[in-house]
Every structure is written in C-alpha cells, then in structure tokens.
Structure 1
Amino acid sequence: MTLIHTFPPQPDESGRGYYRRLSSANALSSWKDLARCCGERLSFDALLAHPDHVSRSLGLEPDWCQKATVQDDLARTWRGLRRHGRDAVCVQCLRESVHLRMAWEHAYLVACPAHGVLLHDTCTACSTPLRFEREHIGFCECGFDLCASPSEPATPAQLWVSSLLATGDATVEGCGPEMERTATDVAAGLINMLCRQPDPAVEARRRNASAPSGVHELVAFLRPLEDLLANWPFNFQSHVSERLRLGPPVRRTLNGRLGTWYRQLRKLSDHEASHPFIRAVGLVAQAEFDGVLGLDATAEVINKEATSVLLMEAAKRIGVTYDSLLNHRSKGSLDCRPIKSGTNGLVYQVAVTEVEAIIEARRLWATDEVACTMLGVPPAVLGHLCDAGAVVREVRWKEDLRKGGPIELASLQRFTERLRSSTSPEQTSSKRIKLRELSARHVGDKKALTCALQAIATGALCAVKAEGFVGDYEYLWNDVAKHYARPLLDQGLTVQALSEATGYKHESISSWVSQGLLKSFDVLLRGQLCRVVTPTQFNEFRRQFVPLSDLARELGTKSSALAQKLGSIQIVGSQVLPGGERRGGLVRMADLARVAVQDQRADDANP
C-alpha cells in the first residue's frame, strides 16, 4: 500500500502520535489500518518494532520511521508512568500544530510548560475520555473540536512538575528549587517520593499502589507539592521539622527518625536533582536533630552546607588520618562535640569553621618534597639551608595539627625574594657553582657550609646568574670558597704551612697578606678563621716581588746591610717592629729589572 499523504514526524511528536496522524491524513479509520497494510499484528508495538519494514510497506522515508521508534523507545523507559487508553492534550498547542507531543504521554504531566495551562484528557462537550482509537487527533469522537475547549491556568507547582518532566529544567519563581538537566526517571522518582506520604503521621502507601490515570486524579495526587514547593525552601524545611518531631525519639539516625520518606529520598542522592531537598533536610537536622548526621549515602551532600561535620569527614577535608584527629582530640588540641551513637557509643563532631581554620593554617607549611620542588634543590641542600637559618623548619611539626609540614612557606618566600634582590650579574669566565650543588662534599665542615649559606641568604654573597629556580642560581667559586676549608687546603697552604715550606717568617707573610701584596683566602678551619694561599696566588706574588732576605742570602750579606746599598730601589712590605726595626722587606722585580738595564747601558757607554 502507498499512502497519498506522507510527511516526517515533528521534532517533539510521539511515535504513536505520528502513525495516528498519518492514518488521519490518509482518511483511514484508525492506526490499525496502517498495521494491516504492513501485514503485522494490530498493535503499536508491531509498527514501532520494525521501522525498516514499515517504511518499505508504506512508502515512507526510513529516517521518519526510525525517528518515531526512537521517540517511542524513550517513552517506554517511563515504565508504569506512561498514559494508556486516553490522550492528554494542551488545546493551545493543538491550535498551533495538530500533533501529539511526546511529553504528554507521561502520566505525571498535568500542565503545558509553554502555555501555563492544564492539559485536557476528557471532552468538554461530552465529558468522555479522549480515547486513543478516535479517528482525528484534534476532535473528540462526538465531533467536538478540541481547539475550542477553554483553558484552565496551572498552578506554580504543576508548572514546576511539568517543566521538569518535559524539558528536564524547572525554573518557577517562588516555587521549588531551580533544576537543570534532570533525567525523566529521576524527576518522576522525586515527585513520587514527595507526594506518596504527605502527612508525616500517616504511613506511606505501597509503591505498587495504583497510579493516577486521569488528569484530575493526578492533580489531586500532586496537591501536596502546592505547599511543599511554595516559598522554597522554608515550607519544605518546616515539613522536615515536623517529621523530625513526630519520628521515633529513640532513633539516633535520620534513617530511623524520618523513616521510609527519607530512605526514598536517600536512594536518589546520586542524582543532582535530589540535592536541594537533601541539603534542606541537612540544614534542619543540624539545628533540631540530636542524633548523628553524615553516616549514610547523603553525607557528601549534607556536609557541603553543614555547620559541623563528623570527625571522619573532618579528617578527609584536612588531609590527615582519622586516628590522628582522635589523638589530637584526646590531647585537647581539637575542640569536638560528642554525640551519642547507638546505645552506648559516641561519635564526635567538629565545627566547619574550625576545620577551615585548620586547613588554612596548614597551607602555610609545606613538606620537604614540596619545599625542594619550589627551590629546585636536593633534600641535602634544603637541610643545610635549614641549619643555616635561611629556611625555617619545625622539627616537631607533627604534634601541631595546624602545621601541614615541617617547612614554613613564608620563610621560603623570604629566602627567594632576598636572593632575587641580591643578584649582581658579572660577565666573567671564572669558575661558578650552583646553589643546589653546595653539599657536604664541597666543604671542610658544616660550620663552613653554614657560613657560606648565611652569606648567600643575607645578600653578602650575590649570585652572578639568577635564572630558573633558586637552586639554579650561580655564584663565583672564588667567593664561595672563602667560606670553605678543605678544597682550598687541598690546593694551597695556610700561612703557617707556607712559612715552614719557604722559610719566611710567619709575621712577614701575615704582613704581606694584610698589605694586599700576597693574595689569600679567608676560610674557617675547625671553627677558626684561617688564611690559605694557593699556588697560583703565591706564583703571582713571586712574579712581582722578591724577598730582601733571598737577595741578601745570594750576595752573602744581611738584609739590613743590603737595604743600605740598594740606592734608588724601593723596599716595600716591611713590618715595623716596636723597636723601630724593619723585617720582611720586598723588592719589586720591575725595579730590579730597571736597574739592571740601566747598568748595562752604562757599561756599553764606557767600554
């Protein structure tokens, strides 16, 4: 059979309504004639279960039939909440387009969210139900045009329910919470839970009790929402308060005190649609319930706005173990409120403000791992920085709940800022060393390393390259080595050792160093200041000066006698003794060379 009039389904049209509209447009007595033409059983399921076969039999586009099947499959997920035997229509929607909207098939839908009016499921003229079997969608079997029916405005609660079921969103001013992207089955479960036991003193009916079949019955079923959703959330909270008051006083959990009503709500806690109602229950329970909160599936929702939480939840938020909090409670460092649990048991609650204060205080401290990452140094160098006082470390931090680690973050920031502000970039090829490389293998003792790091921390020792992490800052090795003993001792000699090696008096060498003629490094050796002269420094000294004692020894005379014969050659570096005597004089190599050249010229002039 080929239909005369074919057309696609409307975007919001129900699957069954599409085939009924096709039947009416082609002057068939009912949708059953379409089923007969397809050679299938006389049922909607026969038409909708085989869209490809129906499209070939009736000459329809496959996509049209597939769309109708998808719409019907979605409605089938409503299970026992799908209308059977009669239609419910919005007369104002029919005036715009005569087709059956899929949302109208839901048994809980009583109003049109678009026009704010109640649906009709009976004829205004003859008061008979609008049966599925009627020939035309827009007319009753008596011939009355449904578009001529008067409209009755819907209440805010009815619009809230209908919007939630039809679109998944519900925003009605002054009525119920705002809802978004709510699944139809979740919305239906929430509505059923709120309406099945409106009176706290009356036990709820069985869940398999007969569902409302007509719009008027459904309006009566939804009537409790008129009060519960009005003036949200105060009316609903008053309802919860009454349930707490009438519940068994010996029960110390919400499950026991609120009974089946709350247990049905708790089953929906995985869905966000139930959270406004669960939070309202939690706020009332916080103020009026003397039992335990936060021990069931709704704990996560209730605790979001709770003023106090169980010790277990507090431990989770703070980031410590439950046993640790119990230990702090027993020491008196954590203020808790005991609550009876069961017959003889006790649980403890902590104020949320106290938990937040602890969390905020713990953020001011860091673990060693975090501190090393922030500075870019290995743990050993961090330990040396702490020993030097550059970074504050609390050894017994675990005894204080308000410390999240041993390292004070403020000290890390101060140390970093000082290093950044004390940089002195130098274009030099001298040997450098990075801060993260300063470890025990470079030092003679820990006191020397502490001294070097203190100089860095105070800015007395400036970085010549400050890029990346603090650990990557580079310092001149010669500046850092002044605080170290072992590396320099391996390279050079102390003043005493140099005196023994060269035969120069200790006082003379010290005088040369003090006058800047002989360069040296000041290092700490076993906690005492010590001067070390490297071979490079001593060779540089000998290239510029020769001790007067060495010249006198070569000439077989004394230093004092030789000093009187040098004439214009200047003697420098002498140490003046208390008696006026001079010791440790030096002669510049340049002066000796100048005099030698002059003598050679004189000899050449007088052969």
Structure 2
Amino acid sequence: MSLIVRLQPHSDESLHGFLRRVSERNLAPSLKAFLASFGVKSRLAYSDTELARLAEMLHLDAAQLAVRQPAPDSCNVMLRPKYQIREGYKVCPRCIAQHPYQRIGWGHVLMTACPHHDIQLVSSCVACNQGFNALGQLDRCDCGQPYAQNTGVTASEQTLALSALMLGVEHPARHSLPPAWRSGVPPADLVDLLCLLGKQFTGQSRSRGKSTADEMMVEAHTGFGLLLQWPTRFDEALRSRLASTEGPGLAKRLGGWYRELHQRYTDPAYDCIRQALVQHLTHNFDGHLNLRLSTIDPQHLKDKCWLTSEEAGRLIGIGSQLIRSAVTTGEVRGKVTVNGKNRFVSIHRDVVEKVRQDRLQYLTATEVRRRLGVSKVVFEKLMQSGALDRKTKAQRPSLVSAEFLAVDVDTLVKRLHKGVQSRAVDESAWVGLQGISSKNGIPDTHICQVLQKILHQEILPVAVIAEVPGIAGLRYNMDEIKGCFAEEQLEPVLSITQLARLRGWKHESIKEWIETGFLKAHRESVNGKLHWVIPLSGLLEFTSEFAVLADLARRNDTKSIWMLRGLVPGGVEPALAPRTGQGTRRGVLLRIDDLVRAAQPSKRERFSTSPVLP
C-alpha cells in the first residue's frame, strides 16, 4: 500500500496512536488492515525488523518509532510494558479536542489525570456508556459520540501530582513531593518503587503471585501517598509501623523492603527516601540489633551513639563475636542487655573509635614485610637480629591482634635511609638485604652478625634505589660485608649425602661410623632442620686411621668377605663390623696400622698359626 498522506509523529505521541492516525488519514478501513498491507500484525511492541519495515513504508527513521513503543529497558517510565493497559483506551477530552492524537501517557495504568487541564482522563463514552475502543477512531467512540463532548471532572491533587511526575511536567501539585521530585523527569523504575512501598503500608492482604491491575493501582497510589507532604507522611507511616510491632530486629518490625531500596533502587533521585529512612530510624528505632542499613553505607551510622556489636565490628574491622566477648568480660567498656534467653551488646561510639585508632597504630607481620619491602626469610633474619620489638598481648591495647608498632617500623626505615653514604663503589659489588645469603658466599652463621652491624649502622649503605619501597632499595658494599668475617674462614663441611656421592659409601654406613664415633661430625640447622655435617679435618683424620674394607675389595676385584678371610691370618681384625637386619656385614672398617703390621714378614709368621675366621 502506498501512502496518500505522509505524517510526522508528535513529540508526545505514542506509536500505537501514530499508526492509528496514519491509517485514518490514508483512508484505511482499520489499523489491522493498514498494518497487514505492510505484512505486519498489530501488537503492543514491534520487533526491530518490523520497525524497520514500518519506517520504510512511512518514510521515517526507525529510531523515531522505537522511542515511542513500550520496552522493558525504556528510559521513559510511561513505556514500561508491565504497566501498559492491555484493553481499552483513555483520553483527555480537552486534549483530544485541541489536537486529535493519542498521547504516550494515556496507555499507562497509573495515568488517570491530565496535568495540562487538571481534569481526570475518561475511558468510557458518556452517550453509550461503553469503554473506548483502542482500535477505533482517534477522536470519537464507536457509537459516533466525540470524545471532546465528555464532561471534564476535576482531578485530585494526588492524581495530578502522580500524573505530572510521570510525565515530567511542571505542576503545583508536585510541590509537596521531595525536593528532587518537584521538577524534571523521574527514573524509569519509579512505579516499581511506589509498588514496593505500597505493599508494605497498604494494611490489606493481597493475593499470592503476580499483582492484579487493581492491586497494583492500590499499591502504587499508597506508596505515592507516602511521598506527599514530604517527609511528614513518610515519617508517620514509619512511626506507626514501629509502634505496632515488637522485638529487636528491624526486618521483623519494618519489613525487608528497605534492603531492596538500597540494593536495587540506586538512582540518586531515591537518595531522599534513603536519607529520610535512616534519619527516622536513627532517632526513633528502639531495637537492639543492627540497622542493616550500614551494610550499604557506613555513613548511615554517623548519628548513632550506641552501636551494636555488628555495627562496631564493621567500623573497627573485626568480628562482632570478639566485641561481644570483650564487653562481656569487661575488657572493653559497654552495655549488656538481657532479654529472656537473648543477650544484646551495645558499645559507645567513643570506645569504638578508641579501639579503631589503637588498631591503626599496629601492624601484622605481613604488613610489616610489605612496608619494609623484604621477603619472609629476610624478615625472620631481621627479627633474629633484633630489628623490631614484637609486642605481647599484655603490652597491646584491647582488641589489637597485630604485634608491631607502625611507628617502630617507620623509624627503622628512616634511620637506615638516613645513613646512606654515597661512595664510589662499582655496581657489581652492590648487594641488597635479599642478597645477604649463603648463595653469595656469606655463611648462615654470619648472616645475623652482618644484619646486626647494618642495624647498628656499623655497615652503612652506599646507594639507594628510590623506586623500591622500604629498605629493600638499600644497597651495601659486598666487599665490606665479607670483610666482617674474612678472618674467621669456616672449615669446609660435607653432608652425609655429599660424602656418599663423593666416595660411593653407603648412607647408612656413614651414619653408623658417625654414631659410633669413628667419623667426627656435628649437627647444623639447615632450613630449620638438624642435619649431620662432616668437617674436612674429621674426614682426613678418618681416612688416615681407617680403611673401608669395601674399597679394598673393589680395588682387588674381589668380595669383602674373601679379602677379610685373607687378612685375618695376618692379625687384621675389623675395627667396626656392623650387621644389617639380614645378618650381613656392611661398612666394615680396618685399621691402617693393622694392615701395615700384617704386611711385614715377621708379623705374618707370628700370626700364621692363628685360626682362620669362619
């Protein structure tokens, strides 16, 4: 179908009304027939494809049509599908008389008045008493009676205020609303909020499940009524609700709607409701438990003097159980109220602030390491060297678990940085605290000695890397550090494993020689565990006095038992011959002196008559 007349939509004209107006002006028998000629069915909301087709046939931009139809994400409160009239049609008689087109607001269930003419909208014909047909003519009933001939009835202040608010129209009826609502366009979810408030304060039982249209009207108007004469009605409703309920819990006495108010309705236009609610509860709520509002914004507690343990815990940053225990035992000043089997704890804000300030003055070990910029290993070495004083529980204020004073940490950092002496030292000789380790040739037994000299500023840093935090950026002269223990060169040592790999001896044999005192060794701590280490002097003394039978047999390509049988007639007896669980001998030691004597001819003849060992 080609258009006889091309039209442009009015700024406040609905999409449905515009299509009706175009179909009438182009002499279409009905809206359905007009749309069918484009291959489109009449519906409340059209798809993008359908809108594009309509826009092409109407010679318009699709965006001009899209902003006029209901959509779940529409920014216009009038175009939310949930609240659109499904059947029937409402008009303002005076508006339709002036300009015969359908306004966007007339399709909303809560739009009952015209703020331009201060009269009620009408939805039925004064002549036939039938409801208006939304698919009929724009300006007259199906019976032929013009809508403009309907009598205009003056609307109430509340319906005018609500209609003007939703339309975003300036009107004196809006002056009793909250200041932020007296002008401008409301948020798109306004009706949802009004229904949320109305459900809590209607005082009537409602059907389960989805609200009916009548219930929705009652809830929305009840919720809107709380906002008139702001904030008097709102405060009165809260006061009445709290007076008619008992118990310490806010949710039980007020209902859980305030949580949804804080979590879902975040538009700044609703801040006035949140602030009025908090102000009222701050001064009038006589319950003992947490307001729960503080879970959204701690500022909501700014006017309360006595706090619950939960509120105090959030402000301090600790669990409420710790506060309850401290107040109950008298460690912290507070009040304990007993109500039946329940016990409620209150603590004054001044006490809470004192505890909070005390906790800020102390740091945990992890926080200290971050502030110093050192690893856990270096931090432990610094603590062994006496870098910081760890405070005991008796030395700390109440409810303070951290063990280090922040001022001590800052003093240490400043003192070490103050001692920086820039000297001409090659960067290859620079070393940080992390590099003071055995990997760089500094024995474990001397690390604490070096750190103590650094802490006492006997060894001063030669440079500092500014971008590295704490004391990790300090750089020391490695030659100067090694000079601290150059005169005390430690004797090289071997572990049992290293010695076993070096000589091919059994691990258990070496351990047996150590435990029986044949091989001198001592224990050293390595990564917190004690291990046997064999000094070089002990190993040399061992090898100069003893020969391992297994080594001798290996050299002569024989077995230990046959070699021992050949040596026994010469007077050679094992100095140590331990037996395993299976009865075999391992780790047999022979004295070198006995072998030397057996090698002399005169000694061989003396022992030739000795019995041979089995």
TM-score tier by shorter-chain length is 0.5 to 0.7
C-alpha distance 295-227 of structure 1, shift in aligned 2 (>3 A)? closer
The alignment status of 1:426 with 2:430, answered yes or no, reads no
The equivalent residue for 2:286 is 290
Conserved? CA contact 1:40–1:46, under 8 Å:
no
After TM superposition, the structure 1 = structure 2 runs for residues 337-352 of structure 1, keeping only pairs within 5 Å, are 337-338=335-336, 344-351=341-348
SS at match of 1:425: coil
The equivalent residue for 2:295 is 300
> Which of 388, 393, 396 is residue 390 of structure 2 equivalent to?
393
The alignment status of 1:86 with 2:89, answered yes or no, reads yes
Per the TM alignment, residue 136 of structure 1 is displaced from its structure 2 partner at its CA by 3.3
The alignment status of 1:122 with 2:122, answered yes or no, reads yes
C-alpha distance 402-240 of structure 1, shift in aligned 2 (>3 A)? same
> Which of 246, 250, 270 is residue 263 of structure 2 equivalent to?
270
Q: Deviations over 1:251-283 (max 9, x none)?
A: 44334434xxx3455555531256754554444
The equivalent residue for 1:362 is 359
Conserved? CA contact 2:309–2:323, under 8 Å:
yes
The equivalent residue for 1:15 is 15
C-alpha distance 347-416 of structure 1, shift in aligned 2 (>3 A)? same
Per the TM alignment, residue 418 of structure 1 is displaced from its structure 2 partner at its CA by 2.9
Q: TM-score, normalised by structure 1?
A: 0.59
Letter in 2 for 1:237: D
C-alpha distance 76-175 of structure 1, shift in aligned 2 (>3 A)? closer
Alpha-carbon distance between aligned partners in 2 of 1:33 and 1:272, rounded to the nearest angstrom: 43
Q: Deviations over 1:535-593 (max 9, x none)?
A: xxxxxxxxxxxxxxxxxxxxxxxxxxxxxxxxxxxxxxxxxxxxxxxxxxxxxxxxxxx
- Percent identical pairs in the alignment equals 16
C-alpha distance 205-462 of structure 1, shift in aligned 2 (>3 A)? same
C-alpha distance 346-453 of structure 1, shift in aligned 2 (>3 A)? same
Per the TM alignment, residue 192 of structure 1 is displaced from its structure 2 partner at its CA by 2.8
C-alpha distance 286-65 of structure 1, shift in aligned 2 (>3 A)? closer
The equivalent residue for 2:75 is none
Letter in 2 for 1:462: L
The equivalent residue for 1:473 is 474
C-alpha distance 418-206 of structure 1, shift in aligned 2 (>3 A)? same
Letter in 2 for 1:287: H
Conserved? CA contact 2:119–2:152, under 8 Å:
no
SS at match of 1:463: coil
Structure 1 gap segments, 5+ residues each: 493-607
Q: TM-score, normalised by structure 2?
A: 0.59
C-alpha distance 198-163 of structure 1, shift in aligned 2 (>3 A)? same
Conserved? CA contact 1:21–1:137, under 8 Å:
no
The equivalent residue for 1:411 is 408
The alignment status of 1:102 with 2:100, answered yes or no, reads no
Letter in 2 for 1:300: T
C-alpha distance 195-155 of structure 1, shift in aligned 2 (>3 A)? same
Letter in 1 for 2:474: Y
The equivalent residue for 1:190 is 193
SS at match of 2:195: helix
Alpha-carbon distance between aligned partners in 2 of 1:421 and 1:119, rounded to the nearest angstrom: 82
Alpha-carbon distance between aligned partners in 2 of 1:154 and 1:108, rounded to the nearest angstrom: 13
Conserved? CA contact 1:278–1:302, under 8 Å:
no
Per the TM alignment, residue 489 of structure 1 is displaced from its structure 2 partner at its CA by 1.6
SS at match of 2:476: strand
Alpha-carbon distance between aligned partners in 2 of 1:192 and 1:269, rounded to the nearest angstrom: 16
Conserved? CA contact 1:380–1:439, under 8 Å:
no
Alpha-carbon distance between aligned partners in 1 of 2:84 and 2:389, rounded to the nearest angstrom: 67
The equivalent residue for 1:334 is 332
Q: Deviations over 1:44-66 (max 9, x none)?
A: 43994796499489944696499
Aligned CA RMSD, in angstroms, stands at 5.2
Conserved? CA contact 1:9–1:68, under 8 Å:
no
Alpha-carbon distance between aligned partners in 1 of 2:384 and 2:55, rounded to the nearest angstrom: 90
After TM superposition, the structure 1 = structure 2 runs for residues 498-509 of structure 1, keeping only pairs within 5 Å, are none
Conserved? CA contact 1:291–1:340, under 8 Å:
no
Per the TM alignment, residue 305 of structure 1 is displaced from its structure 2 partner at its CA by 0.7
Letter in 1 for 2:423: E
The alignment status of 1:371 with 2:372, answered yes or no, reads no
Conserved? CA contact 2:96–2:147, under 8 Å:
no
Per the TM alignment, residue 362 of structure 1 is displaced from its structure 2 partner at its CA by 2.4
After TM superposition, the structure 1 = structure 2 runs for residues 251-266 of structure 1, keeping only pairs within 5 Å, are 251-258=247-254, 262-264=255-257, 266=259
C-alpha distance 277-478 of structure 1, shift in aligned 2 (>3 A)? same
C-alpha distance 25-292 of structure 1, shift in aligned 2 (>3 A)? farther
Per the TM alignment, residue 316 of structure 1 is displaced from its structure 2 partner at its CA by 4.5
Per the TM alignment, residue 391 of structure 1 is displaced from its structure 2 partner at its CA by 3.9
After TM superposition, the structure 1 = structure 2 runs for residues 174-213 of structure 1, keeping only pairs within 5 Å, are 175-176=177-178, 178=180, 184=188, 186-195=189-198, 202-203=203-204, 208=211, 211=214
Conserved? CA contact 1:157–1:175, under 8 Å:
no
Letter in 2 for 1:358: V
After TM superposition, the structure 1 = structure 2 runs for residues 41-120 of structure 1, keeping only pairs within 5 Å, are 44-45=42-43, 48=46, 52=50, 55=53, 59-60=57-58, 64=62, 67=65, 71-74=69-72, 78-79=81-82, 82=85, 84-88=87-91, 99-110=101-112, 118=118, 120=120
The alignment status of 1:453 with 2:474, answered yes or no, reads no
SS at match of 1:72: coil
SS at match of 2:70: helix
Per the TM alignment, residue 466 of structure 1 is displaced from its structure 2 partner at its CA by 0.9
Per the TM alignment, residue 405 of structure 1 is displaced from its structure 2 partner at its CA by 2.5
